[in-house]
Amino acid sequence: MVFMNIERNNKNVRVIGENYTLTYDAADPLYVNLRFDGGVGAKLLIFSACDADEGIDEFVELKSIDTADVDDIMILTFTARTTLWDKAEYTFKCEPARVIYGFKVFGSGDIDNVRIFEGFLKDDPRRDIYFYPYFCGPRRELSHHRSYKEFSCSSEPGFTDVFSFGINSSHKRWFKYYETIQIRVNADRRYEGGDWLCTPPPYLYLLSDREHSSLVSMGLVVKPGHNGFLKYQYIGGEGFGLYLNYDGYTRAEGEWASPQVLFEQSAGDVYECLGKYCGYLRAAGAAPSVDRGAIPKWWRAPIFGGWGEQVFHSNRWTEFFGQKADNWDNDNVHLFCTQKAYETMLETLESKGVDPTILIVDNRWFKAERQFDVDEELWPDMKGFIETQHSRGRKVILWVSPWHYCHSGGGQDVPIEYQMIFDERAAYELELDTDVFYKSCKLPMKKKRKLLELPPHTLTEPKWQFFADPQNPGYERFLREKIHWLLSPEGLNADGFEFDYTHFLPMHRGLLPVMPRDEQLYGAELLYTLLKIYYTAAKAAKPDSLIISHTFNPYFNDVADMLRLQDIYTDYASVVPQMSHRALIAKQVMPGCAIHTDQHPMPSLAAWREYAEYQPKIGNPCLYYVTGIETTRELLTDSDFEMLKRVWDDYRNTL
């Protein structure tokens, strides 16, 4: 039964929904108070800042407040004026059991970033306590600068803890309200031990009390085609805000609508909250729905991937633990990705009675400079190898890194005119120097251009001059031809792809397409466009081809068939809690998908044994080792293979 009670008193508004109360008090004109009946909520700043070009957006004045009732929905709209836009409208859409916030700006400009529920007030009287930044230092830019938080207006948290669905190696999920949290597609190996594992993750935070007895979603709702940002950041402190960066690639021309923020209370656990959020996105048309009721049976079969065994025989961990290298650049893992090595691995498994259905040929079966051409020194007869595996009832999946297929990666055969160029001369960041908030400095309310200095190129953090260009018709045609050759019977006749390194996308200003265009895609939207080409080309070549990805975001639901739980770089003795967590997320963002449970790297043989028995509970059982565990050098025993055969046989009986 729908319950909504709306009270209006002069300019004051009170909305009582099924499980929340939203209040606007004209005596506190810049805030709306939202409180759910579990006690969690926030005092939300009505205005959001939308910085464009080099300008800093400041709120000037509230012009009007309007309410509209549509069926069982009340819409509260605040019309305002800001320094950068002709007009801005901030809207709270109050449904019976949820509140959805969004805003529009009217005018033109290249959007740099959006600060939701946080911003700057023009001529804010609180700044009058500051006179001039007389801080010591060799020069002003190197001396102390106050945080922008000291000059901004923010929202007041009515919660103590924040849950993030960003997946990281440290397995940190709960944060305090005053911390800053990253959910992003341009991840790296440093944040919380590395957050590149599943990119992008769901754009969802959960707000809660200290006991985690009440959960309120705070998730983004983005229209398809508008995911042109890199990160959805929670910026904590005494006050909080949300941050999206567009880096000038999104253009407002006349009118621009922000992504919306959905607030909804859930009674279940965090995964039920995620499922509810993803369900809303699909119902609203913000994420695609996919019917996986009749997927090929082999998609759920046991997996063997050779990567762990490759690493076992390589110098990777001895180099790393021996402090001989601070990156993977000098390792020789690829030398153990050979036809002979994989044939030996499979012969050993067969002799132990372990029979995988899905075989993943990992990095690198291809030539270093031509990612889609077989390295015949390592794989003298890959087509014959694949035919042999097919005759034994197996499917062969090829490891690929989509962003690497360019001149800077492994795509020397891609014509220059099909790529994007990263021009370092046009690469800069816009830095908010808080000196602009001191009246005595008499500075224009603009950001500073700061020349972008990229770190040296490494294997795990590449510095590329060229990028794959999925918007270029020539690149798309060239890529589709390559995919057809890899998967079709007239070519290699492989059975699908396993994607990796989805976070290696362009992430700075300075991106120049060789082919001019009206709009340059960026962020998750650019990644989605690239993966869509892979997915549709693969299905055209072989309808039952399997596409494995680690894009744990519901927007990517229709460009993958299986989600890989990804690498397990951890300091925990057991990997079961982490991998169970990832699997529960996967099942919500891509309902019905197959799940690649992964197995690399294992902390120890004991951890491997525990996880090998657990894998069928969360997805396809998966093996990465034949000889032993690469980290501890412990060897697998006959009893280990007997256990593995039993587990896999029992699992197959459930299919």
Instruction: Output the pLDDT for position 71.
Output: 84
Q: Is residue 213 situated within a structural domain?
A: yes
275 and 345 co-located in one domain: no
Q: Is residue 648 situated within a structural domain?
A: yes
Q: Bridge partners of 244?
A: 114, 232
For residue 646, the domain's CATH number is: 3.20.20.80
Residue with tokens 């492994």: 410
Q: Which residues of the chain have pLDDT under 50?
A: 1
Owning domain of residue 194: 5-119+154-284
Q: Is residue 433 situated within a structural domain?
A: no
The number of residues in the chain equals: 655
Instruction: Output the pLDDT for position 86.
Output: 96
CA dihedral of 208, 158, 58, 100, whole degrees rounded to 10: 60
Instruction: Output the pLDDT for position 325.
Output: 61
| Whether 513 contacts 469, CB under 8 Å | yes
Residue with tokens 């081809």: 545
Q: Which of residues 284, 314, 345 is at a domain's end?
A: 284
Instruction: Output the pLDDT for position 150.
Output: 95
325 and 199 co-located in one domain: no
CA dihedral of 1, 15, 42, 65, whole degrees rounded to 10: 140
Round to whole Å and give the CA distance between 59 and 70.
29
Residue with tokens 């464009």: 52
Q: Is residue 136 situated within a structural domain?
A: no
Round to whole Å and give the CA distance between 427 and 574.
43
Residue-wise burial string across 257-271, b where 16 or more C-beta atoms lie within 10 A, e elsewhere: ebbbbbbbbbeeebb
Phi then psi for 535, rounded to 5 degrees?
-65, -50
First to last CA, the chain: 41
Q: Which of residues 251, 284, 317 is at a domain's end?
A: 284
410 and 512 co-located in one domain: yes
232 and 166 co-located in one domain: yes
| Whether 323 contacts 352, CB under 8 Å | no
43 and 95 co-located in one domain: yes
Q: Which of residues 284, 315, 337 is at a domain's end?
A: 284
For residue 31, the domain's CATH number is: 2.70.98
* H/E stretch holding 473: helix 473-487
276 and 361 co-located in one domain: no
Q: Is residue 443 situated within a structural domain?
A: no
- Tokens standing for residue 527: 């990644």
Instruction: Output the pLDDT for position 324.
Output: 65
Angle at 637 between CA 633 and CA 643, to 5 degrees: 120
36 and 174 co-located in one domain: yes
Instruction: Output the pLDDT for position 458.
Output: 76
- Reduced to 3 DSSP states, what percent helix, strand and coil does the chain have, rounded to the nearest 5? 25, 30, 45
Q: Is residue 14 situated within a structural domain?
A: yes
236 and 382 co-located in one domain: no
Of 547, 622, 618, 621, the residue nearest 586 (C-alpha): 618
Q: Count the Cβ atoms, other than its own, within 10 Å of residue 282.
A: 15
| Whether 289 contacts 557, CB under 8 Å | yes
Instruction: Output the pLDDT for position 1.
Output: 46
644 and 574 co-located in one domain: yes
Domain tally for the chain? 2
Instruction: Output the pLDDT for position 327.
Output: 64
Phi then psi for 167, rounded to 5 degrees?
-95, 130
CA dihedral of 619, 625, 631, 633, whole degrees rounded to 10: 140
Q: Is 321 helix (H, G, I), strand (E, B) or coil?
A: helix
472 and 573 co-located in one domain: yes
236 and 316 co-located in one domain: no
